[in-house]
Amino acid sequence: MPTGVAMRDVREQLFGAAERILLRAGPSALTSRAVTAEAGCAKGVLHRHFADFDAFLAALVLDRIARLHRRGAALRDSAGTGTVAGNLTGALTDLFDAVAVAIVGLVTSRDELRARLRESTPTGIPLLTEAAAVLTAYLTAERDLGRLAADADVPTLAPTLIGAGHLLFADREGTPPDAEAVHKVVITVIGGVTREPTA
């Protein structure tokens, strides 16, 4: 690896390598040696930037959570446009891309990683908990705009959507569900509180 490469570039290179391994072979194949080999860099590069491999994995998850928050801001800003069901269908499809589903599997399979992530996510499953918070913010904005019933139980609706969405997308080997299948789940969850046509 050339000297003088910016740390952020190295981090992104290593994160990209880890994501490719996750997609190709799953969490059990993810080792520091596999990541550096996939990234095409020397074995010591990862440990120059991270205290240990679990610190690297925690940074990988936190990077994905940061991306989620950026997308969440755009979703919240979309309140009042399109349809609530359409916006949620797009958000769930975007959230549960193959890498995110693989990262959830990684988090649930590594106790030490979950313990490290408890600093930022004290309860629930990291990434899914933050995703529920993103949907809560969006649904609250839609309720405030009158597109959901005033008594809509947003703190229950959001994690229900996340749980149902995760079950739809969780089979890493299978074909992801199409938009119609995701939309059907969304309508089932929010149909009783939406104040707009659901078709």
- Residue 180 sits in a domain whose CATH number is 1.10.357
170 and 97 share one domain: yes
Alpha helices in 154-199 (DSSP H): 154-169, 179-190
**Whether the model pTM is above 0.75:** yes
Q: How far is CA 156 from CA 109, 131, 177, in A?
A: 26, 13, 23
- CATH number of domain containing 43: 1.10.10
Q: How many CB atoms lie within 10 A of CB 130?
A: 22
Is residue 89 one of the residues assigned to a domain?
yes
Q: Which of 144, 8, 157, 149 is nearest to 80 (CA)?
A: 144
5-23 pLDDT, tens digit each:
444 588 999 999 999 999 9
Rounded Cα–Cα distance for residues 180 and 11 (Å) = 37
116 and 72 share one domain: yes
Residue ranges making up the domain that contains 45: 1-49
Q: How far is the first Cα of the chain from the last one, in angstroms, to the nearest whole number?
A: 53
Q: Which of 54, 59, 70 is nearest to 13 (CA)?
A: 59
Q: How many CB atoms lie within 10 A of CB 89?
A: 22
The fraction of the chain above a pLDDT of 90, given in percent, is 82
131 and 90 share one domain: yes
Is residue 196 one of the residues assigned to a domain?
no
Is 94 a residue whose pLDDT tops 70?
yes
45 and 65 share one domain: no
Rounded Cα–Cα distance for residues 109 and 115 (Å) = 12
Rounded Cα–Cα distance for residues 145 and 37 (Å) = 51
Average pLDDT over residues 16-32: 94
64 and 25 share one domain: no
Is 172 a residue whose pLDDT tops 80?
no
Burial of residue 135, with CB atoms counted within 10 A of its CB: 0-12 exposed, 13-18 middle, 19 or more buried: buried
Is 195 a residue whose pLDDT tops 90?
no
Count of structural domains within the chain: 2
Q: Which of 111, 152, 103 is nearest to 128 (CA)?
A: 103
Rounded Cα–Cα distance for residues 193 and 165 (Å) = 19
45 and 68 share one domain: no
